[in-house]
Chain A
Amino acid sequence: MKKLLLIILLNCFLFNISYALIEVDITRGNLDPLPIAVSPLHVDIKSENYNDIKVKELGENISEIIENNFKATGLFNPLKKEAFVQKPDITHLKPRFEDWRLIKAQALVSGKLLIKDGKLKVEFRLWDLAAAKEMTALAFTTTPSNWRRVAHIISDKIYERLTGEEGYFDTRIIYVAESGPKSQRVKKLAIMDQDGAKTKYLTLGNELVLTPRFNPTNQMVTYMSYFRNMPRVYLLDIETGTQEVVGNFPGMTFAPRFSPDGKKIVMSFAKDGNSDIFTMNLETRVVERITNHSSIDTSPSFSPDGKFIAFNSDRSGLQQIYVMRSDGSGVKRITFGNGIYGTPVWSPRGDLIAFTKMRKGKFYIGVMRTDGTGERLLTENFYQEAPSWSPNGRVIVFYRETKAGLKGEGFTAKLWSIDITGYNERQLKTETDASDPSWSSLLSK
């Protein structure tokens, strides 16, 4: 009892003078790209060569792809390898954090790989240099020919860990590859990795192809092709190369797109001389009319939850963007600005709609909220259109044409990408001229 009293008394006397905790608000930071060091992957000495893959260079090559991916985002600044202070094998075991901090790196990627018995095993670690700890570590096993994809997947994982949102590197872009003079363009369907590598042509170029679009759930593509001057909607499985005709549609048919569950396509075609919006169930092939209006309704695009459709219509005079429920009810106009609006595309995140705007002879690619507020024009040019979202809703790819001379000289069409902040506009490398891009979802999902 006495002890207790003593303790209580002591506590009372030892009561310290305490100050209110100082609080400082930090409301700004820098938006400079994050300096990151991507150490070449260490190649295990037990590795064997596989077909034409030179295993000794593989570690360098993978780290180079990762670096290029990061550079293209504009969010990271991969540091030059000459400045690196540790060998790849030791780095991967335990980096000397102080040394890496000296070259101003904030994050470090290390890794090692092994090819044995026809299998490629890649392991990587991401280090937080300021905190001197590991942030993430993963290992993959695959066939050695997939090494580029491994590099992209590693990039995705690191991007996700450092930015908090999903990556978009392990993806592909399908587009219309164009060649020949302007009056006699040969248009083929082509697909490539998002970094421009591994281009593959899917059609021969005998027929005109238009508006390829990815199925958000798998590697299926829908596109339009003119067969004996009749527009046809095709489905193409990229993995197997099988093609099928979905149907012949009368008159002008436009821009088929998949629903978010991949089971339907939505498109516009002219029935009885007037364009309206229809959906088609791919299993039952039943066509359902969505809009029935005397105006021209085109370019439908589903919201990612499948509940709404954004589309173009000239029902108020000039072409504007409208949103309706997916059954066609509750049509609401969302754009009221000056100029003509077209090609609305709902972001995979669901928060924004990308569009093309034409005003005073200039074309703009922009984004706005789904209720039409907060319009931001990201880029202006002579001619550009067909925005398509990266699967994480962060980057938009579109195509841009240059002005041609009287005989069509000087005409080019190229793919460009831009961040939704309006920064980091860059041209994508394609083997030929290109138009109508569509970005796939993540391949490794």
Chain B
Amino acid sequence: MIRSLIYSLTFHSVMILLTILSLPFMLREPVDLPPIVSVELIQISDQTNIPYAPKARKIIKETKKKEKERLVSEQAPPSAKAKEKPDRIPLPNEKKEKKQIVKKKQNPEEVKPEIRQSSEFEKKEIIDTNQIAALIDKAKEEEATKQKKIDKITQSSQKNSFATGLTLSEEDALRAQIFGCWSVPLGLPYNEDLLVRIKLNLKKDGTITKSEILDHQRMNRPGQKFYKVLAESALRAVRLCQPLKVPPTGYDKWKEIQLNFNPTEMLRG
């Protein structure tokens, strides 16, 4: 009795220990993104920078102009203002900015270029204070909306790459390759479910070691003859395409891959 109790206790404590120890460890793993993801993020931020630049330049020019005018008219010592910058005396407008910056810092790796850019801005803006506050506000609003957009993009792409483990370009390359190999049978009914899911086990060079139709039992159902033909055509496509165009890295992620063949869209034209 006691012995079994001890067994049970040790077993349970081991299990609890394991869950405590292993769960965070397991959680951390997927967060540890491979370098591929960061490459994608940079691409996106580059793209959003392009439309951003001219506007920024405009605002900068305007602020510079006004600054000069003010310098002439008010004769305020610019050096004193410039000194304020490193000390970062929190002006009412700046407080907002700081908050934003803090937000951005939650994700420092991703949005670095953006932060740098906006801070460059702020430098110019800080020089000038109250009179161009309205302008700054406007700029900030724009910036904020831009930032939101960027966040959205990065999030979705992150989700995407996280889910597939392939970057968009890698996925596209693979897709384009299979498009070329797949002869779609033309006798397919338009109003049936035409999804064929094929699971592949791949070697590092992209050759297939195992291919499996996931809805295998559907092939032999009555009235589903077309499905067999469709599934076979998909399998033929994969085999003809060998070796598949797979990324050079991250083999563990794509050694098993599922291809969802669905010609519905194409048949409807």
Contact = CB atoms under 8 A, between A and B. Distances in A.
Contacts of A135: 232
A83 interface: no
Given A106-B183, A164-B229, A131 B235 contact: yes
Contacts of A15: 22
Interface in B205-262: 225-230, 232-237, 239-240, 252-254, 256-262
A19 B236 CA distance: 27
B185 A163 contact: yes
Contact of B254 (A8, A9, A22, A164): A22
Interface of A: 1, 5, 8-9, 12, 15, 17, 19-32, 34, 75, 106, 128, 130-131, 135, 161-165, 392, 394, 421
Contacts of B183: 29-32, 34, 106
A205 B175 CA distance: 61
Nearest to A132: B239
B119 interface: no
Contact of A17 (B11, B29, B178, B239): B29
A26 B234 CA distance: 9
B174 A24 contact: yes
Nearest to B29: A17
Contact of A162 (B178, B229, B260, B264): B229
B174 to A, nearest CB: 6
Contact of A23 (B182, B240, B258): B258
8 contacts: A23-B257, A24-B257, A26-B234, A26-B237, A27-B262, A29-B178, A165-B225, A165-B226
Interface of B: 7, 11, 14-15, 18, 22, 26, 29-30, 162-166, 171, 174-175, 178-188, 199, 225-230, 232-237, 239-240, 252-254, 256-266
A30 B179 contact: yes
A393 to B, nearest CB: 10
Nearest to B260: A25
Q: Name the 5 nearest CB pairs between A and B, nearest first.
A: A29-B182, A164-B229, A165-B187, A163-B187, A164-B226
Nearest to B253: A19
A28 B18 contact: no
Contacts of B256: 21-22
Contacts of B11: 5, 8
A204 to B, nearest CB: 41
B258 A128 contact: no
B262 A19 contact: no
Contacts, number: 127
Contacts of B26: 17
Nearest to A26: B261
Contacts of B166: 22, 24
A22 B266 contact: no
B175 A24 contact: yes
Nearest to B237: A29
Contact of B236 (A22, A106, A163, A165): A106
Given A24-B175, A28-B179, A29-B237, A75 B186 contact: yes
A113 B7 CA distance: 75
Contacts of A165: 187, 225-226
A26 B254 contact: no
B240 A130 contact: yes
B232 A128 contact: yes
B252 A23 contact: no
A164 B239 contact: no
Contact of A26 (B165, B175, B232): B175
B258 A21 contact: yes
A34 B240 CA distance: 13
Nearest to B235: A131
B182 A30 contact: yes
Contacts of A12: 15, 18, 22
B40 to A, nearest CB: 15
Contacts of B180: 30
A12 B183 CA distance: 46
A106 to B, nearest CB: 6
Given A20-B163, A23-B164, A26-B182, A1 B258 contact: no
Given A21-B256, A130-B240, A164-B226, A31 B184 contact: yes
A131 B239 contact: yes
A205 to B, nearest CB: 39
